[in-house]
Amino acid sequence: MAGLCILLCLGALLARQGSADLGAVAIVEVHENVTLHCGNVTGPRGPVTWYRNDSELVFLLSSNSSLPPASPRFSLEDAGALHMEALSLEDDGNYTCQEVLNETRRFPVWLRVASGPDQIVVNISATGALPNGTLYAAKGSQVDFSCRSASRPPPEVEWCFQAHISEVFGRNLTANSFTLLQMSQNLQGNYTCSATNALSGRQRKVTIELLVYWPPPSAPQCSAEVSSESATLELTCNWDGGYPDPTFLWTEEPGGVVVGDSKLQPLSPSQLSEGKKFKCVGNHIVGPASEVSCVVQISSPSLASQPMKTCLMGGNVTLTCQVTGANPPAKIQWLRNLTQPEVAIQPSGHYHITQHDQGSSLTIYNCSQDLDEGFYFCRAENLVGVRAVDIWLSVKGSTFRGQNMGDIMVLVDSEGEDEEEEEEGREDIEEEEQETNEREELPKETSKHGHIHRVTALVNGNLDRMGNGLQELHDDGDAELSDSVHEEDKPV
């Protein structure tokens, strides 16, 4: 190819110099001038006549002044050379110089008139065009390429591709047209068509940039978030994975009132109200054809919790609070009593706060009746509204032999005592019956088959609340429970 280019360029150079000596062939571009020499002869010359060789000889010009030239464009120069001006495509053909001296000699000359390429027209199908004229094609589509040029003779066409991502020229393709069946990101770049006139060596090039686009693979996702910078509500429409980035349109629903056209759309306080809906419509330059959208609804938080909790003195308790329906997510705080409702509880050695999703837990260590009993408030707030729920914490004082206890019943079974001890026990019981009217009633005891079952109970520190927690013990169904217990059998 390089050798052919050198040969063609050399031929064009010689033609522009007006020489037809080499091989009696002259190559000239249209509208230029040329001088055709009558053979490569030195010395005296005889009369010269020029003819055009068509189906028959056509007279053009003669050194005999009595014969006028066939066209004013023709003239003779030194040594009988034919000078032609403003060549046209019709001047292409065979010419003959006839010289008569001692004999008649004829010298043929082949004149080649080249035209173009004047312009190159490149067509790339299945594409769209950006406002700046850059073409684009959808990923996976079929794209046809063609290149045309006005030239005589028909030009040699060559395609060259330069990828954006690698900046390396691809292989050249010699063809007027070709097709790419599956466009991919690697085929995005510059496509250059060059047309070369094989006679004159003149070459023209046209480079077209072709981009490859594709839409995001999934549907858009809407969300409402609080901006960390301005602490305002910001609607977010995530529709990623495509190229280039899609465009967005936010509307208020129902009604379709346009709110904005950005991926991150801030809302003013006047636009915030309970249950209001906003719709994001995504649009990509290559589709899909049907509308893709998502809807976000803003709402204040709702709270759920246990209304009452109980903690034993010195023990631990955990209060929980679950938030639902908050969009954007709510900020959760724990507060203490109504005297200082805006003072939030801070984590410490006494309080431990755990946040989990849209829920929160407050753990109180080493419960104290004086310090910890009372109302606790779980407060959830977002930019739409505030909700709070109260929890009553009851602290019950109760320790039995150094251990925390709830409702506890202890059965002490004394076995192996003889009947004398049993009789003495009964006498002691009778003596104690007189004192029971002055003391609060204590749990009962019963005798069965010579064994004493002493029952003591502690119900959150209040014996009166023992209730039905103890069942009476019967001796064959007839024995009665004693109305008193010994002083030493009381809980200590």
- CATH number of 87's domain: 2.60.40.10
Question: The whole model's pTM is what?
Answer: 0.61
248 and 327 belong to one structural domain: no
108 and 143 belong to one structural domain: no
Each residue's pLDDT expressed in tens, for the chain with a length of 492 residues: 333 332 333 333 333 433 434 448 999 999 999 999 998 877 778 899 999 998 889 999 999 888 999 999 999 998 899 999 999 999 999 999 999 988 899 999 999 999 999 889 999 998 899 999 999 999 999 999 999 999 999 999 999 999 876 544 455 677 889 999 999 999 999 999 999 999 999 999 999 999 999 999 999 999 999 987 778 899 999 999 999 999 999 999 999 999 999 999 999 888 899 999 999 999 999 988 888 999 999 999 999 999 999 999 999 999 999 999 999 999 999 998 766 656 899 999 999 999 988 899 999 999 999 999 999 999 999 999 999 999 999 999 864 444 444 443 333 333 444 444 444 544 454 444 444 444 433 333 333 333 333 322 332 333 333 333 333 333 333 333 333 333 333 333
Q: Sort residue 336 into left (φ over 0), alpha (ψ -120 to 50) or beta.
A: beta
Structural domain span for residue 204: 120-213
Last residue of a domain, one of 213, 231, 250: 213
Cα–Cα distance for residue pair 425/331, rounded to 1 Å: 66
What type of residue sits at position 333? Q
Tell me what pLDDT residue 476 has: 38
97 and 164 belong to one structural domain: no
20 and 90 belong to one structural domain: yes
When divided into structural domains, the chain yields a total of 5
* Tally of CB atoms within 10 A around 89: 11
465 and 412 belong to one structural domain: yes
Phi, psi values for residue 78, rounded to 5°: -55, 145
344 and 290 belong to one structural domain: no
Q: Is the dihedral of CA 480, 485, 489, 492 positive or negative?
A: positive
Token pair in block for residue 426: 């009964």
Tell me what pLDDT residue 141 has: 95
Token pair in block for residue 253: 């629903």
Strand 135-138 and strand 203-213: pairing?
parallel
Last residue of a domain, one of 356, 374, 397: 397
Last residue of a domain, one of 259, 278, 297: 297
173 and 226 belong to one structural domain: no
7 and 95 belong to one structural domain: yes
393 and 416 belong to one structural domain: no
**Residue found by looking up tokens 């251990």 in the block:** 403
392 and 407 belong to one structural domain: no
Cα–Cα distance for residue pair 10/15, rounded to 1 Å: 9
427 and 389 belong to one structural domain: no
Tell me what pLDDT residue 398 has: 62
15 and 85 belong to one structural domain: yes
